[in-house]
Amino acid sequence: MVTYIYLLGDSETNVWGLSGRERLRRMLGAFNQTRTVDNPEQIPAHAPAIFLRADHLFDARVLAALINTRVNLVLSSDIGQPVAIRITDGNMRHVLANFMDGGEGEALSALPRYTLKDLNLLGLQQNLKKRDLPYLLFISSDNRRQLELELFARSYKGVTDLVTKWLWPIPAFWAVRICVRFGIRPNQVTLLSLVFALLAGVAFWHGHYGMGLVMGWLMTFMDTVDGKLARVTVTSSRFGDVLDHGLDIIHPPLWYMAWGVGLTGALTQVSDLPIIFSLILIGYVGGRLCEGIFQFWIASFDIFIWRPLDSFNRLVTARRNPNLILLTFGWFIGRPDVGLWSVIIWHLFSTVFLAVRVMMGWQAWRSHGSLRSWFEDIVPGQDEGRLAVRIFAPLAVRRNDRKFTDK
């Protein structure tokens, strides 16, 4: 059955270039069996309907809960202001009139009142490898900057490598602002990162390691920017997702092989290349296989969010960014061969570690049944002091900040 959605009003300012109404329209476009109408008269009698105040930022999980529920309800903000209504029967016109009058009226008061806490939405977000509190935030010109910071922080994965987590956030924030200002789209940023990836590979192949590293680091930065831009502007696309993740999977081993080709002559014999290539593929493919086996045959989530140890391992495991640090160090000391062998050894070590964790996961599954991510055991209000929570899940325990609420 189609759920009809009617948006009331709009925000007084834009957040990441989008008004509250336009942001809601884009977010609702991702849900099947919904239809946004411009006039409440277009809603058929007894059809499920949702009324939303467009001067608020809605978490996608909140919208999903409103769409999927089968009960009538009024969703209120932290200060008791009605911001959303779900209704499937009753006098819809009177309910909407009460809603537009600020939440007062007999028709509206007869509906059960819910808050974010009542919706019970504190769940694991597997695509972003994190768990955080859902949000429902009032939009005003006074808090626009805070809202942009909030959305940007929430666009980040909870568990990722140390470069993405601690080096890129500030410059990526400003890069996303520039992209929004000039209308640059995420797929355009992804295509630029593809160009940098190709230039880095060519430079490595010819032994121009300094220039190749510059291109490589620019590529990794663009790889951070495109995802954040897509999330804060609600412009993710299937094509962009496939292009971005496909590039992430394919280019790292090709970089390392090109680096090896660039070494031939002065530091490496051509006859050594088959061994180097074989070790690179064993380490890289082996690690990816371990991750896939864990997620698709042992648990329903990524191996790096199983236990805190695995999340800490993700900071430095043999993925592209930590490996770029090793390559950069080798180039800096004038020993690019040392940089490459460091990558190879670190890949093999990381793969062995992942293989051990896969076996431990399999044993735990056999002994105790379905596995749980440590994120699911975080208790808001109690676990703020845990190091793993402070690093990987600060938004899962943060108390509400009243500066975001309506006055």
Give the mean model confidence (pLDDT) for residues 294-313.
96
What pLDDT, in 10s, does the model give residues 48-72? 999 999 999 999 999 999 999 989 9
Q: What is the dihedral of CA 248, 235, 232, 323, to 10 degrees?
A: 10
Considering 96-100, 132-136, 137-141, 234-238, the range whose residues carry the highest mean pLDDT is 137-141
pLDDT in the model for residue 407: 41
Annotated domain spans of the chain: 3-119, 155-372
DSSP single-letter state for residue 44: P
pLDDT in the model for residue 267: 61
Residue 367's contacts (CB-CB under 8 Å, 6 or more residues apart) are none
pLDDT in the model for residue 326: 98
pLDDT in the model for residue 23: 98
Assess if CATH 3.20.20.370 describes domain 155-372.
no
Which of 407, 403, 406, 326 lies closest to 143 in space, CA to CA?
A: 403
Name beta bridge partners: 338.
none
| Under 8 Å between Cβ of 51 and 99 | yes
Distance, in Å, from the CA atom of 335 to the CA atom of 366, rounded to the nearest integer, reads: 47
Distance, in Å, from the CA atom of 24 to the CA atom of 36, rounded to the nearest integer, reads: 10
What φ, ψ does residue 327 adopt, rounded to 5°? -65, -40
Q: Which of 116-125, 141-150, 295-304, 398-407 has the lowest mean pLDDT?
A: 398-407
Copy the structure tokens of residue 28: 């609702």
What pLDDT, in 10s, does the model give residues 12-55? 999 999 999 999 999 999 999 899 999 998 998 888 999 999 99
What pLDDT, in 10s, does the model give residues 227-279? 999 999 999 888 888 888 899 999 999 999 999 999 986 666 666 899 999 99
CATH of 3-119, one of 3.40.50, 1.10.3470, 3.90.550, 2.40.40: 3.90.550
What pLDDT, in 10s, does the model give residues 65-104? 999 998 999 999 988 889 999 998 767 888 888 888 776 7
Copy the structure tokens of residue 213: 């590293």
